[in-house]
């Protein structure tokens, strides 16, 4: 159903948008609509979830030293009680615990996510509404707390905010998590890095869960592999650029972009150019 050419395009879209606060799900659905790919088809939904693994692999490679440090601290804390006072040990546990809300929501609302909420009307509305929240977080967040100041409540609230992106494609997982981090007083770099770390278990789990439908369905394994590899390469470059960007800029550019895309999408849907 998805050929190699389409998988390259979708891989580029996934890699560019997965970690930017613009909604990868929303952009993938728009791209699929423009390519004539049936957005609501279960094998297509599975395809988009699996190529996310390429983007997650990019995070694993880019943040390998940080991840190794967290895993090492977690292992030491499991064996040696004295090591449990280390922030890295606590942070590792917080990432695990903060993933539980999105896992529960994914299981509970699976039929809604793959059904009524997969509409491009939902994507368009979520892009606009999410922009308002991002603008408020960027302007009213104090930005006085660094990554070393992250606490369990921070991680749990940021992790739970991923549910917004799950239920309302177009809201943006990274947009929701970064905005929540900013509203908790984290600086832009700390909020963005926390968003990256929380993406690893959530998106990897989603990709593995959907793999059976992608491989066992009507999709060819070759386009699936091509899309995943392309998303990895593009996502790695995007991560490197984005971290440099947030260190010196606000999210105003993304807010404006989201509103423009949302309004244009509403127009395309309203005129019948794109099917919902």
Q: Residue 205's Cα: distance from chain center in Å?
A: 12
DSSP β-bridge partners for residue 230: none
Report the alpha-carbon distance of residue 116 to residue 270 in Å, rounded.
18
DSSP β-bridge partners for residue 15: none
Q: Is the separation of the CB atoms in 202 and 49 below 8 Å?
A: no
Q: 167: number of CA atoms within 13 Å, CB side?
A: 13
**Residue 257 counted as domain residue:** yes
pTM of the model: 0.88
Tell me the pLDDT of the chain (276 aa) as tens digits.
788 999 999 999 999 999 999 988 778 878 888 888 876 667 777 788 788 889 989 999 999 999 999 999 999 999 999 999 999 999 999 999 999 999 999 888 877 877 777 788 988 999 999 999 999 999 999 999 999 999 999 999 999 999 998 899 888 899 999 999 999 999 999 999 999 999 888 878 777 776 665 555 556 789 889 999 999 999 999 999 999 999 999 999 999 999 999 999 899 889 887 776
**Residue 275 counted as domain residue:** no
Report the alpha-carbon distance of residue 247 to residue 190 in Å, rounded.
10
Calculate helix-pair angle for 87-108, 188-216, nearest 10 degrees: 40
**Residue 265 counted as domain residue:** yes
Tokens of residue 22, six digits: 């613009």
Closest-CA residue to 240 (of 34, 4, 58): 58
**Residue 208 counted as domain residue:** yes
Q: Is the separation of the CB atoms in 182 and 255 below 8 Å?
A: no
Domain count, the chain: 1
The residue segments making up the domain with residue 247 are: 4-270
Tokens of residue 86, six digits: 């280390």
**Residue 99 counted as domain residue:** yes
């Amino acid at each position: 159903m998805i050929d190699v050419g389409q998988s390259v395009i979708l891989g580029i879209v996934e890699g560019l948008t997965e970690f930017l606060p613009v909604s990868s799900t929303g952009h993938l659905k728009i791209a699929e609509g423009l390519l004539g790919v049936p957005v609501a088809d279960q094998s297509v939904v599975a395809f988009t979830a699996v190529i996310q693994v390429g983007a997650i692999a990019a995070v694993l490679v880019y943040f390998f030293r940080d991840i190794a440090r967290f895993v090492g601290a977690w292992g030491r804390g499991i064996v040696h009680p004295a090591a449990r006072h280390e922030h890295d040990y606590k942070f590792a546990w917080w990432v695990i615990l903060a993933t539980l809300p999105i896992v529960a929501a994914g299981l509970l609302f699976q039929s809604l996510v793959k059904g009524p909420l997969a509409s491009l009307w939902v994507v368009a509305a979520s892009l606009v509404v999410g922009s308002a929240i991002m603008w408020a977080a960027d302007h009213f967040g104090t930005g006085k707390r660094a990554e070393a100041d992250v606490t369990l409540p921070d991680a749990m609230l940021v992790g739970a905010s991923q549910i917004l992106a799950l239920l309302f494609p177009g809201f943006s997982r990274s947009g929701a998590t970064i905005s929540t981090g900013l509203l908790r007083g984290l600086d832009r770099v700390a909020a963005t890095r926390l968003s990256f770390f929380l993406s690893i278990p959530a998106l990897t789990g989603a990709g593995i869960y959907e793999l059976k439908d992608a491989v066992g369905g009507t999709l060819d394994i070759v386009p699936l592999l091509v899309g995943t590899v392309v998303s990895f390469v593009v996502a790695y470059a995007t991560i490197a650029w984005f971290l440099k960007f947030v260190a010196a800029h606000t999210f105003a550019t993304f807010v404006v972009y989201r509103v423009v895309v949302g309004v244009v999408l509403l127009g395309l849907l309203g005129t019948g150019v794109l099917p919902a």
